[in-house]
Amino acid sequence: MRICIFLIISSFFLCSCATIISGNTYPLSIRTEPAGATVTVTNKKGKEIFTGKSPAKLKVKSGAGYFTKAQYFVKLNAPGYAEKIVTVNFKFNGWYVGNLAIGGALGMIVIDPLTGAMWRIADPVVDEKLEQSLEPILKIISIADMPEDMKSRLVKL
Span 57-113, pLDDT tens digits: 999 998 888 878 999 999 999 999 999 999 999 998 766 666 666 656 666 677 776
**Cis omega (within 30 of 0) on the bond before 55?**
yes
Mean pLDDT of 107-131: 83
Higher per-residue confidence, 128 vs 63: 128
pLDDT at 3 over 70: no
Give the pLDDT of residue 134: 75
**What pTM, to 2 d.p., does this model score?**
0.71
The answer to whether residues 54 and 130 touch, using CB atoms and an 8 Å cutoff, is no
Least confident range from 6-10, 49-53, 78-82, 126-130: namely: 6-10
**Strand, helix or coil for residue 70:** coil
